[in-house]
Structure 1
């Protein structure tokens, strides 16, 4: 049907244009944040592109429902403003016809949104965690610099490297001072290498062919020991962080009843439902008088979207904190949106009759 093709073409063109603009805005914002990190030395520049790509994959969960909502609203607003909608009504095309077409389109868009929400976004979050960990590893190695004293262990230790070959990670003429309270320990060696213990993630400097001096403060007593190999702990194992359920695979969330897992699972399942409800709402909000213009409802639409999205995020936090039962969870927000849609539909039916 010509009207159907025309209708879908207009909405899809609007979705593509809006999505491109919002992605560019999001990328610009994130790029500035990453540049700020890079300027502070916390993020190597070569990782920025990878992190931006991963962030966009996660952001699509929010951007696709928003662009669909705005695209339907703008398209129908233009049709009303140009009196095309009046001509369609005269041909027997009414709001129920438009609703059916929009619901079909929303269901088709919900398929990629569901895939991104359930599988792609958690993967991207996991990959970002791996990259961040790799950056921390590199920063630890990069922190080893020759020709200056560097402290560790909250100032209780100091080491000095005369020369450091970063390519081979080989240190030469190394000096280490350790304050152990009841005694001071001095270590010297001709050669040393950094070592990362895989299991505990603790960082060491392993010294070879050197001497250890144990000094007792306030006395002339000292003990000299020659060693072939000696490991000095530079960075202790990282404190174990809370498990990141946002990076967990969906099947892992399904196999646990932890409140944070339930909140994350509901959030992922909410993405396609949000898209569908917003698309329906856009149809019912789109009616505009000729003098109002096609952009008359944009401010209200953006406000509704942010309220809807923020209520979902607040409900998610309540489920995580066990303030809200998991069976209520985020679903009450969608129920409230469905109630708003029902009221608008009844008003529309009343206006027709």
Structure 2
């Protein structure tokens, strides 16, 4: 029991450290992407951390299996390097018993990954989709930031305001530049520029929103051409387009797992196979990591780290490719992703018994040579 607690603690501590580092790296990259969208006026900066929180289960369901795999390699590699595993082997610790002890923390990780994959991640993806839909319901000026040029309406409009009231109803120092297209959007009719000292938003009884600009100029056309014109105005009203809001969530990752069992579509069945594969992935990578962690103290514990990571990446890549093949109907849906798991299960078993078999054959050859 003491040895079991010691090994489990080493694995779980290394797992936590590795997973934390991977999580920070992945979340930083995703946060930068959302931050860029907020800078462009596509997202409200106030919802960035909320989106990241709901996306956390999706990150963890992929990070934890890799963290466990690397945790076993690093923790047991250190024990081999410091000859602690040699002492344990001398007291009767076999590879099979070591694997059995390692499967206990692996079971805890697998249960956590199953909870994330089957329950939390679909809820998080659905909540993120709802937030994005709510962002689409905002008008262009709800995400406007004073003192910054922002691309709005798919880059066809650039808006700037020096000042913006707290209720976002009054603006000062307004600049709006918009491309003018023909009705069929096939011909560029130049650029329309609006400049105003101040502006305000008005909501009519029918729900339409207007931007009322005061004391400014409107410039239409391309400078230098005959159709270019400049108009001074005291009051100018602009109808703000109503946002197109979709309440329907089409992302299959947001479908509850219980509902996937009742779907007959290839994409939904493939998604179910993927969610069930992640907990199983934990046990198979554990089976591969235990023999791969066995190193010679003279060689160092990082000798097998790169090949082990490549093996893990091959496993995950083939799973993703299999998922894509299931969605496109190139693989029988009844067969699923089980052949991929079976292949790497055989690889894990081969790694488990290869080293003892090699040592046994070498011992017999030595005996024959002496005889």
**With structure 2 as the length reference, what TM-score do the two structures score?**
0.71
Shift of 1:193: 2.4
- DSSP 3-state at the match of 1:280: helix
Q: How big is the shift at 1:345?
A: 2.5
What is the CA deviation profile of residues 256-297 of structure 1, one whole-angstrom value per residue up to 9, with x for unaligned ones? 111111010011001110011001110021111112212222
1:300 aligns with 2:307: yes
2 CA distance for matches of 1:59 and 1:168?
Answer: 35
Alpha-carbon distance between aligned partners in 2 of 1:59 and 1:50, rounded to the nearest angstrom: 15
Deviation for aligned residue 1:239: 8.0
Q: Which residue of 1 aligns with 2:134?
A: 134
1:15 offset after TM fit, Å?
0.8
Alignment-derived partner of residue 91 in structure 1: 91
* Inter-partner Cα distance in structure 2 for 1:344 and 1:180: 67
State how 1:34-49 maps to structure 2 within 5 Å: 34-49=34-49
Aligned to 2:190: none
Map 1:134-173 → 2, pairs under 5 A: 134-140=134-140, 142=142, 167=167
Q: Per-residue deviation at 1:39? A: 2.1
Q: Aligned residue for 2:52?
A: 52
Per the normalisation by structure 1, the TM-score is 0.74
Q: Does 1:341 align with 2:348?
A: yes
Match of residue 108 from structure 1: 108
- Contact 1:114–1:271 at 8 Å: present in 2 too? yes
- Higher mean displacement: 319-328 or 66-75: 319-328
| 3-state SS in 2 of match to 1:243 | coil
Instruction: Establish whether residue 290 from structure 1 lines up as the match of residue 297 from structure 2.
Output: yes
Secondary structure, in 3 states, of the residue corresponding to 1:75? helix
Distance 1:312 1:97 in 2: 29
Offset of residue 3 of structure 1: 1.2
Cα deviation digits, residues 194-228 of structure 1 (max 9, x gap): 7999xxxxxx559xxxxxxxxxxxxxxxxxxxxxx
Segments of 4+ in structure 1 off by > 3 A? 164-170, 194-197, 232-242
Q: Does 1:319 align with 2:326?
A: yes
Partner of 1:275: 282
Please report how far the alpha carbon of residue 122 of structure 1 lies from its aligned counterpart in structure 2 after TM superposition.
Answer: 0.5
On the 8 A contact 2:57/2:124 being kept in 1, the answer is yes
Alpha-carbon contact 1:169-1:194 (below 8 Å) kept: no
Match of 2:262 in 1: 255
SS in 1 for 2:137: helix
Distance 1:343 1:279 in 2: 13
Query: Cα RMSD (Å) of the superposition?
Result: 3.6
Assess if the C-alpha contact under 8 Å between 1:195 and 1:205 holds in 2. Answer: no
Choose 8-17 or 300-309, whichever is displaced more. 300-309
How has the CA–CA distance of structure 1 residues 140 and 87 changed in structure 2, closer, same or farther, with 3 Å as cutoff?
Answer: same
Go from structure 1 to structure 2 and tell me whether the alpha carbon gap of 1:304 and 1:195 turns closer, same or farther (over 3 Å shift).
farther
The CA deviation at 1:97 is 0.9
Distance 1:345 1:196, change over 3 A: farther
1:328 aligns with 2:332: no
Query: After superposition, what is the alpha-carbon deviation per residue over 1:45-96, rounded to whole angstroms, capped at 9, x for unaligned?
Result: 2111112212222111100000000001111111111111111000111111
Please list the CA deviations of residues 227-263 of structure 1 after superposition, one character each: whole Å capped at 9, or x if unmatched.
xxxxx89347568988211100011101111111101
Distance across 1 between alignment mates of 2:205 and 2:113: 43
Q: Show the counterpart of 2:22.
A: 22
Separation of aligned partners in 1, 2:166 and 2:71:
53
Stretch of structure 1 that moved more, 296-305 or 68-77: 296-305
Partner of 1:212 in structure 2?
none
Q: Which position in structure 1 is the counterpart of 2:8?
A: 8
Partner of 1:82: 82
Whole-Å Cα distance in 2 between the matches of residues 93 and 194 of structure 1?
79
For the 8 Å contact 2:136–2:244, the answer to whether it is kept is: no
Cα distance in 2 for residues equivalent to 1:180 and 1:20: 53
Residue 244 of structure 1 aligns with which residue?
A: 251
Which of the numbers 190, 193, 203 marks the counterpart of 1:193?
A: 203
> Unpaired runs of 5+ in structure 1?
146-150, 156-163, 171-178, 182-190, 198-203, 207-231
**Partner Cα distance (1:52, 1:60) in 2:** 12
**Separation in structure 2 between the aligned mates of residue 166 and residue 194 of structure 1, nearest angstrom:** 21
